[in-house]
Amino acid sequence: MTSVLDTRSVPPAERRDYWSAGIAERFFPMRVESFGAPSFEARMASGQIGPVGVRSIQGLAHRVARTQRMISTADPECILLYLMARGKIHIEQDDRSCALRPGEIACQDTSRPSTFEGREGFEVLVFSIPKWFIGAQAKGIARRSATRVDSGQGRLAGPATPFLAHLARTTTSGGGLSSPDGEGASQMLLPLLRSMYGGQEISDPRPGPEALLAQMQRYVMEHLHEPELGPERIAQAHYVSTRYVHKIFASSGTGVSSWIRERRLEGAAGELRRSPETTIATVATRWGYRHPASFSRAFREVHGCAPREARQQPKP
């Protein structure tokens, strides 16, 4: 399914804030600055192929920056692969920088501070590729961020541009790809990355069990407030089977549902002690419980007392 973010849908005075909020939701928090135009205008169409997010971004001149504080707030841990379609952009990261013109390719690492600047009207195609999907080569690619890929580099680097452009257009135009086709297309990105950036083979895109467990646990912590969170949601977010999610958590000594429940009730207990003015129903909702009664039962089973009694206990 394709989603569209278009600043023309709101009044001119609200467009920059609207774009910042939309970018934060679809990418991660960034600081947006517009210049050189009386009104801020930008448009983004986005889609998904397997674990890879695909976006077509068009806009007038503007600059976005990502700081260390923003990274600590939210980091999808991805490599952003840029393919320039129109105009010119300038990207920076660490001590590297480069300008991109139509047909040129470069990348950025979401885990490091960076800037992206369109110095005129532009369109860029962006592939958001999870590092776990890339595998061991992700570190090597990240060390070459904000460096333009030579069009003649690698056996597959030459055909990469038309392939990526076609894939992005298909994904963001509304037609999309079926689930099997999307999975296959995302796998085809891996040899392209290997060709463009060299380094070791990308043989198994899935991380090892310990790394995957840590990634799944981070995902759980970020989504504890959602009542629908469970093994199925975790499996969908990480492109593995529900059975594999259960297996990964079992290896740590606890079941996935139990781990979620414990984290929710730990967080709720802390909030009850910190915020005595907040109603128990509100605390229950914030930690993923639809009904206060079921929250109270679960709380008593784990903590040995009712939520109201927990507030009377001294803070640790």
Q: What is the pLDDT of residue 90?
A: 92
Whether residue 303 is found in the same domain as residue 213? yes
- The CATH number linked to 278 is 1.10.10.60
Cβ 80 vs Cβ 64: under 8 Å: no
Q: What is the pLDDT of residue 204?
A: 43
Count of domains forming the chain: 2
Q: Is residue 218 part of a domain?
A: yes
Whether residue 279 is found in the same domain as residue 302? yes
What number is the average pLDDT over the span 230-258? 84
Comparing CA positions, the residue from 171, 149, 144, 172 lying closest to residue 161 is: 149
pLDDT surpassing 50 at residue 182: yes
Whether residue 83 is found in the same domain as residue 153? yes
Whether residue 123 is found in the same domain as residue 157? yes
Full domain range(s) for residue 41: 3-197
Cβ 35 vs Cβ 61: under 8 Å: yes
Cβ 247 vs Cβ 269: under 8 Å: no
pTM: 0.63
Whether residue 181 is found in the same domain as residue 90? yes
Distance in angstroms (rounded) separating the CA atoms of residues 202 and 313: 53
Domain-terminating residue out of 140, 168, 197: 197
Q: Is residue 203 part of a domain?
A: no
Whether residue 156 is found in the same domain as residue 233? no
One-letter amino acid identity for 97? S
In this prediction, residue 199 has a pLDDT band, given cuts at 50, 70 and 90, of low
Cβ 29 vs Cβ 203: under 8 Å: no
Q: Is residue 277 part of a domain?
A: yes
pLDDT surpassing 90 at residue 201: no
The pLDDT tens digits of the residues spanning 15-57 come to: 888 888 888 887 778 888 877 666 788 999 988 888 899 999 9
Whether residue 180 is found in the same domain as residue 247? no
How confident is the prediction for the chain on average, in pLDDT? 83
- The CATH number linked to 181 is 2.60.120.10
Whether residue 33 is found in the same domain as residue 176? yes
